[in-house]
Structure 1
Amino acid sequence: MKQTLKISDIIAVGFMLFAFFLGAGNIIFPPLAGQLAGENLIPAMTGFLLTAVGLPLITIVAIAVAGGSWDHLTKDLPKRAAMTIAVLIFIIIGPAFAAPRTGLVAYEMAIKPFFADAAQLHLTIFSILFFVVAMSFAWSQGKLIDVIGKVLTPVLFIGLIILAAAVFIDPQGEMIAAQGEYLTHPLQKGFLEGYNTMDTFASLMFGGLIVDALRKKGVQDQSATAKYLISAALVAAAGLAFVYVSLFYLGATSAAVAVGADNGGAILSMYVQSLFGPYGQIVLSVIVLLACLTTAIGIISACSDYFSSITPIAYKAWVVIIGVACATVANVGLSQLISLSVPVLFALYPVAIALVALTFIRKKLPNPKVAYRVVILVSLMFALIDAAKVAGVDVSALSMLPLFEVGMGWLMPTVAAMVCMLFIGKSEQVELAEETA
């Protein structure tokens, strides 16, 4: 069995991971941040890149260090706890929220503008076709690198390069003064906005999927798998950074052509039409459709892969189940699901970050099993406070917590718990219990 890949295969794996990450949300979010940052573009963009690119990259590296799978990453947690966290992440990022959103946003930005009188029937027909196509690509796991990394992503990347080149060669306006929090602390604001992309969850999903793809290419050795996984993550991170930098600059120079726009999608649409004239919508439609489609394929495949591993239902059956669920949710109740999903994301995201951080210090922990349980529990308890605040519950009595106001009240207690666990060793009773278990 071969343990080496050609450079073209490594780049294809990286492109596949990049395409899985780059959904419509990643494309339409930076322009608004760039517009609000204005002349403070550099510090705001730096903060954003730290969390929107840095955290997902670190998470992929953690998966590689841990052994290439969710089970390896959570081996020091009780199995039920690890499975519960995983199921919640896969449901929220999968059929309950992110995957259906890809179909909805693809319709809103790429298809709806071509209809003078768009109706619900158009969305229904499009969402069915969109997810049928996504399911057909996800159907054959072993060919994901070839169809995504070598076909769809290069086309997507060419579209993004054309857009980026046009933005830097012919900016449509001057940068204006920064607004709101971008005026007073742009680095911190950019950092927090990047955190909201939630791509650390995506890393936990896609890391295992990339490992499976590598194995189907003949790479079985753990060290070789880790090396190629990290290489793919670096390619994906470089691609994401390129997209974010160009879209931030687009937003920062958009004030003149996007007057009154209150969201990134509107800014992007107005800017592209200003750049390319009547053909602008076609360029934007191609980019958004491919970005949404590749992300939907990645999510459906990753969810199907995980759920088939914990149930007797086969991978291809899960592809159909999740695809149908996504097409259904894309048509009904998405706004309600978003409002329900946000508190759950606030509760689980710190847990994911804590899990990644523990992976890198595991060898220094005297008692990994106790450390993982304590740190994850602390992160979850304090994250639930942030989640309650987002859900509208009055938790002002806990406002003395550091970073409480910015929704990161979990951070300092989690760090403190982690530091404490570096000095708590195994007791003789624990060692004896493990020996007799």
Structure 2
Amino acid sequence: MTQKRKDVLVVGFALFAMFFGAGNLIFPPALGQGAGVQLVPAVLGFLLTGVGLPLLGIIAVSKSGGGLESLASKTNKKFGKFLTCAAILTLGPLVAIPRTSATTYEMAIVPFFPNFNPILFSAIYFIIVLVFVLRPSSLIDNIGKVLTPILLLTMITIITKGVFQPQGMLTTTGINSPFSNGFSEGYQTMDAMVATILGGIILGAIRAKGYTKTKEISEITVQAGLIAAVGLTIIYGGLAYLGATAGDLPMDISRSALIIQITNNLLGTLGQGLLGVAVGIACLTTAIGITATAGEFFSKSSSGKLSYKAAAITTALVSMGISNLGVDRIISLAEPILLILYPIIIVLVALTFLDKYVKSAAVYKSAVYCTLGISVLDVIGSFIIPIPIITPIIQGLPLTTQGLGWILPAILTGMTFYARDQYINHTRKKVEYIPN
């Protein structure tokens, strides 16, 4: 095997570990259980946003040479900072970090210590997080390197047994829009934001291996991304199948309880215990990494007025408070936020691939702001209060039932401004070449 292929494998596994968060395990089984016989379209929708979009995000970052702020700054620098701040808040204290604590409590503590106080647990959890965040150590990284393979091996074992010895048959659940449900559920992995915010770390690792040419870096990134995508597809698809064949488990069971019960049915108490320990440590390493990232970001954004230590402690305290809402409640609160942020990220990633042809900031602004406006109005009408006249129009847009109501207006507005710019440039050239 050549050195380049080895490097591709190493980066591919690193990407897989970046996306394969323990918290993501709870989504595919619940999706599969709700989809039943309509498993395939539900999984396809989930894979588009849970795997395909992060892959495109990593490639877009390699093309632009920067992260989300760099992508969004093509619209407006202040908007780039605002969007990055919103994404960091979502990845940090508002959703992702609290979810790691809540997931650990529900999957690693409750099954064995059902009466353990959740507030006390969250306090202990975030004290441990801060110990590592404020006093960096390689210990937790080494633990993560050991536990991620254990988690992956556990998942493969569960999936393999569940495929060859299914607990039940695919049933009709009456779900109306399996594809759009899967598409929206894929947002909850938040891996597209992870890709655009932390993608720079991957690019730095590739450059550190001696690759300097942009084309070569992009080639390695694409190949590594495909390796990660294949791995995620197998794991997510397998877990969704386990959920769809979960037998007589109640439909209203929580996401965490569902994967715990499936594991217990297939591997018994030992498998459940192994899963709990692996998930707990994996969540802890994720929380430490994101808390440190959030601390650095907010300290840098304030030009040092807010110290790294103060930012990290504040992030941990806010996360601790939200974590006690429970996994399902955190997920439901995250949904409207992600329904606003994800469409914008999708548009920015798409425009990055068209950057060769799109030279005007007006195209970026029109497409992004149009997407933002429609997404905000849709969320207000769906989650807060319907707006007379406007909400029916928004909900009547093509592809709205698939969660893509914003896509046609974004394309049309972008194309309109692109045509305008082409016309202006053509007119200017004609004027410049008029003979005296």
Kept after mapping to 1: 8 A contact 2:62/2:218: yes
1:108 aligns with 2:106: yes
1:168 aligns with 2:163: yes
- Structure 2 counterpart of 1:90: 88
Greater mean deviation of Cα atoms: 346-355 or 388-397:
388-397
SS of equivalent residue, structure 2 residue 170: coil
User: How does 1:155-194 map onto structure 2 within 5 Å?
Assistant: 155-181=150-176, 185-194=177-186
Greater mean deviation of Cα atoms: 406-415 or 302-311:
302-311
CA distance in 1, matches of 2:376, 2:139: 37
- Structure 2 counterpart of 1:280: 271
SS of equivalent residue, structure 1 residue 128: helix
1:324 aligns with 2:313: yes
| Deviation (angstroms), 1:287 | 3.7
1:379 aligns with 2:379: no
1:412 aligns with 2:436: no
The residue type equivalent to 1:423 in the other structure is A
User: How does 1:165-314 map onto structure 2 within 5 Å?
Assistant: 165-181=160-176, 185-256=177-248, 258-259=249-250, 261-304=252-295, 306-307=297-298, 310=301, 312-313=303-304
CA distance in 1, matches of 2:8, 2:208: 13
What stretches of structure 1 of length at least 5 have no aligned partner? 433-437
RMSD: 3.4
Q: 1:423 aligns with which of 419, 423, 427?
A: 419
- Structure 1 counterpart of 2:337: 344
SS of equivalent residue, structure 2 residue 421: coil
Kept after mapping to 1: 8 A contact 2:58/2:225: yes
CA distance in 2, matches of 1:98, 1:282: 23
- Structure 2 counterpart of 1:435: none
- Over 3 Å counting, the alpha-carbon distance change for 1:299 and 1:14 in structure 2 is farther
- Over 3 Å counting, the alpha-carbon distance change for 1:144 and 1:423 in structure 2 is farther
TM-score normalised by length of structure 1: 0.83
The residue type equivalent to 1:88 in the other structure is A
CA distance in 2, matches of 1:231, 1:179: 39
Identical aligned pairs, as a percentage?
Answer: 35
The Cα offsets for residues 46-67 of structure 1, whole Å up to 9 and x where unpaired, read as 2221221111111111111222
What stretches of structure 2 of length at least 5 have no aligned partner? 430-436
| Deviation (angstroms), 1:362 | 1.9
Kept after mapping to 1: 8 A contact 2:35/2:244: yes
- Over 3 Å counting, the alpha-carbon distance change for 1:391 and 1:420 in structure 2 is same
CA distance in 2, matches of 1:374, 1:121: 46
1:364 aligns with 2:360: no
- Over 3 Å counting, the alpha-carbon distance change for 1:371 and 1:31 in structure 2 is same
- Structure 2 counterpart of 1:65: 63
SS of equivalent residue, structure 1 residue 94: helix
CA distance in 2, matches of 1:80, 1:353: 19
- Over 3 Å counting, the alpha-carbon distance change for 1:133 and 1:170 in structure 2 is farther
The Cα offsets for residues 110-152 of structure 1, whole Å up to 9 and x where unpaired, read as 1232214211454134413552476389x47xx7998488544
The Cα offsets for residues 272-328 of structure 1, whole Å up to 9 and x where unpaired, read as 11112221321220342244234334433544564565454499x63x555434432
The residue type equivalent to 1:76 in the other structure is K
Kept after mapping to 2: 8 A contact 1:102/1:293: yes
CA distance in 1, matches of 2:419, 2:154: 52
Q: 1:20 aligns with which of 12, 18, 21?
A: 18
- Over 3 Å counting, the alpha-carbon distance change for 1:321 and 1:212 in structure 2 is farther
Greater mean deviation of Cα atoms: 379-388 or 205-214:
205-214
- Over 3 Å counting, the alpha-carbon distance change for 1:241 and 1:349 in structure 2 is same
TM-score normalised by length of structure 2: 0.83
- Structure 1 counterpart of 2:434: none
CA distance in 2, matches of 1:308, 1:231: 35
| Deviation (angstroms), 1:85 | 1.1
The residue type equivalent to 1:106 in the other structure is T
| Deviation (angstroms), 1:179 | 2.7
